[in-house]
Amino acid sequence: MGLNELLQLRRGRAVWADPSRALATLESFARTEEDGGRDIATAARRVTDVELRGHLERHARDEVRHAELFRRRARELRESGVGGADATAGSEKGYDLSRGRPSAEVDAHGFFRVGLLDELGELPYVAMLHVAEQRAARLFDIHARLTRDDPPTHEIFREILRDERYHVAWTAAMLERWRQRGDADAVRRALKTARTGRAMGAWKRAGARAGVGFGRVLMLVTWVTLMVPFGLVARRRRGGESGWMSARRTRATAAAAERSAARDALTRLRSQA
């Protein structure tokens, strides 16, 4: 089990242990799947390969059906009493698939936006789908394991997993067909580009999370090493007193110190005389 899977398991446990976060996650997944289905359906109308179009059309229908499964389960949770202010707060901590992805190039599902299909061609688009669906299959497998105590949700993930495995299989078959036709180098480059893009997105998300944690640590260290000693020194100079001192009291103290210094100087002059 890799580090990324361990992190996803940890986060997933927290999500499904909180009904409000579970609701937010289901609704986020519904939006993500619906967006993916719409984009794939548009791509299917633009490709010229008949076999590829057939796979894309089925793939798009699957994504739309997944969205409805997630949305229906979310409605059931709301009808059971989950929701309201707690759900609004939990939506900020739900499992959001769209985090950290560059919106100019990919949608919430991690798919290239349709405009890039025309620019890059069919092979890179299918390579992107293959990488995205591999990730989705791993992710939904984790969520299926974590929802065993919630049979309706668990069954949804199991049903979706069967579709995701088909998506991985058909995209792999199309890539293999291109390899057999002499485009092995193009397939390798397209897969590398897709994986690198996803890895960069994961690195950026990890960096953002690490940055927040590092900032908190830095603030704590600054407070301990600078503010606490400064406060102790200031308190010692004030004779152990704490709290704010009024400006009038401060001026009076300064005047008294000046008078004392003047008396000391005068005493010294008299002794010398």
Domains of the chain: 3-221 (1.20.1260.10)
> Could you tell me the pLDDT band of residue 95, with boundaries at 50, 70 and 90?
low
What's the half-sphere exposure (Cβ side, CA atoms, 13 Å) at 86?
11
The helices-and-strands tally (H runs, E runs) of the chain is 10, 0
Query: Mean pLDDT across the chain, nearest whole number?
Result: 78
Q: Does residue 196 surpass a pLDDT of 60? A: yes
Q: What is the DSSP-derived secondary structure letter of residue 199?
A: H
| Amino acid, single-letter form, for residue 162 | R
Q: What is the pTM (predicted TM-score) of this model?
A: 0.65
Reported as a pLDDT band with limits 50, 70 and 90, residue 257 is confident
Least Cα distance to 208 among 94, 101, 91 occurs for 101
Task: Give the mean model confidence (pLDDT) for residues 95-106.
Answer: 46
What does the block give as tokens for 109?
């599902």
More confidently predicted of 56 and 207: 56
Cβ atoms of residues 160 and 78 within 8 Å: no
In terms of pLDDT, which residue wins out, 8 or 79?
Answer: 79
What is the structure's pLDDT at 122? 92
pLDDT tens-place string over residues 9-62: 888 899 999 999 999 999 999 999 998 898 899 889 989 899 999 999 999 999
Q: What angle do CA 169, 62, 8 make, to 5 degrees?
A: 70
pLDDT > 70: what percent of the chain? Answer: 64
Q: What's the pLDDT at 203?
A: 35
pLDDT at 153 > cutoff 70: yes
**Cβ partners under 8 Å of residue 183, min gap 6:** 123
Q: What is the DSSP letter of 93?
A: G
* Ranges 142-151, 195-204, 208-217: which has the least confidence: 208-217
Q: Distance (Å, rounded) from C-alpha 174 to C-alpha 232?
A: 71
